[in-house]
Amino acid sequence: MAGSLSRGRRCVLLLLLLCGFGVVLFRLVTLQVLQAAELSVKADRQHQKTVTLEGARGTIVDRHGKILAMNVEVPSVFGVPNTLDSPIKTARQLSPILHVRTEELERKLRQDRSFVWLARKMDPEQGRQLDRLSLDGIGVVMEGRRFYPKGPLLAHVLGFAGMDGEGLEGVEHRYESHLRGEKRMMVLQRDALGRTVFPKGMTEGSPTSGHSLTLTIDEVIQYIAERELEDAVGRAQAKSGTMIVLDPKTGAVLAMAVSPRFDPNTVSALSPDRWRNRALTDAYEPGSTMKAMMAAAAIEERVVRPNTMVFGEHGHMTVANTVIHDHERLGWVSFAQVIQKSSNIGAAKTGMALGQQRLYRYLQAFGFGQRTEIDLPGEGTGLVRNPRDWGRRSVASISMGQEIGVTPLQMVAAVAAIANGGLLMKPYVISEIRDADGHILRQIPPQTKRRIISQETARSVTKILEGVITDGTGAKAAIRGFRAAGKTGTAQKIDPRTGSYSATRFVASFTGYVPTDNPQLAMIVVIDEPQRDAWGGAVAAPVFSRVGEQVLSYLGVPPNEPVMLAMTSPRS
């Protein structure tokens, strides 16, 4: 009887064990097979976080391959709030390293989230300090930050990229689709104890970097232009200044300087006004520099010749019940002298002889009132009114550079057209686009927009503009050993309070090209509101001279005139 009972117990126990194994086996099949996909997704959600990071942004180099914008790997710190035991303690430890208030860090770390950025793209030393702390629930990943190794040099052209690597101004913005790298997905994972978070890997291997850009800009020429412009603006105690250097034969921009400068590495504290590229956004009345284009139109239309005599009315002339003044009391002078001495009366008479419709047609032909279509963002159109909106004095006023708004880029492009024999070229700053492996994807050739004047007219105007420097108002623009041509400009600004011309606020400018027999450089200098001498010949012309002399030497352009050396005899 006892043996039968013992066997019964063993059978019951065996049956229970079999049932237990069956339940376990069923559960394993359910977990490993039937619910495997669903549970895997849940596990990933609990233990993994996918973060989107940008691939390397393409570099920007000057025409000789010198790096102007590049990427550097810097640390970014994140937290996993739902794994922290003491958010306030962690915040206190992080605050002095991240330079973020403890309260702000604590607020982020108390969120019911599995991932939160605490600081992006920090200095490397901050990353090293975090590594030494080795805080649970806090991790560091490396991200690319845009870096401009030359600091303020060319900042207004390059622009800058934001925290997320997106181009916000200048070349960085205009060529964003080329420069940006592939987006990459970084999977972050914490261990079973929830002690840390670390990069697990990338979903598709290393991403492709963005394309690199080669500029037409020459770093050395840019440096010379910025240095001389900054010096001139400072000495004149001016509000701002602009200088552009073009290759007149191609339209390639060799330098584009704006003062005051800014550092694209540290833009967060600056206002948009500081990084605005005034060379292509700001319109101003050009004053007497417009007389060069008026002269080209009048000679092309055979209204005058360089030796045509014009009466200067002894310094004052009435037009539409207003008086036009000259700074010299001129009598009979040749048309060439009208330009060289910058006679407002002679320019007004010539413009009126040219007539409204022809004057307007040449303004359009030279590119005023329209964008040059340079490959930079934010370009303005200037201001050229339709002739139906002109007043009785408008033809005279426009002929001497009033009642019209131009940008520095429009003006230097127009002067370059005279320099190269009458062809208006499209200005540009990008010459090549290359892929991440260095293969050329695109080369940007020079583009001719249209012929404005004949070569014969261009030669005649050039000879007149040479006289501006040798015998006229632009004597301080002279460059030793070279024949140069150009035109001074001094324009009164409109006083916004009165709506009339100010007696104290001026724009001083000079624009020209050198050497005249084979132009290599077309340049414009614009000084806004100089506080000392306001004349273009005194403030802007010397900048043309200093930059031209240095750049021609740098380029190895041989002089076309003998340089006179002062000889002294030894003392007896």
Between vectors from CA 326 to CA 324 and to CA 332, what angle results, nearest 5°? Answer: 105
Stretch 214-229: mean pLDDT: 98
Q: How far apart are the C-alpha atoms of 95 and 80, rounded to whole Å?
A: 16
Q: What is the mean pLDDT of the chain?
A: 87
Stretch 172-195: mean pLDDT: 71
pLDDT at 193 over 50: no
pLDDT at 140: 82
pLDDT class for 52, splitting at 50, 70, 90? Answer: low
Contact (CB, 8 A) for 284 and 409: no
Taking Cα atoms as reference points, which of 212, 67, 267, 213 lies closest to residue 149? 67
Q: Between 17 and 321, where is the model more confident?
A: 321
Q: How far apart are the C-alpha atoms of 384 and 410, rounded to whole Å?
A: 12
Contact (CB, 8 A) for 548 and 515: no
Q: How far apart are the C-alpha atoms of 353 and 311, rounded to whole Å?
A: 13
Domains of the chain: 49-179+186-215 (3.90.1310.10), 219-263+272-555 (3.40.710.10)
Stretch 378-383: mean pLDDT: 96
Least trusted range by pLDDT, from 111-115, 223-227, 405-409: 111-115
pLDDT at 201 over 60: no
pLDDT at 185: 62
3-state secondary structure of 560: coil
Q: How far apart are the C-alpha atoms of 171 and 175, rounded to whole Å?
A: 6
Q: Which pTM was predicted? A: 0.83
- Is 572 one of the catalytic residues? no
Given 76, 114, 209, 288, which residue is catalytic? 288
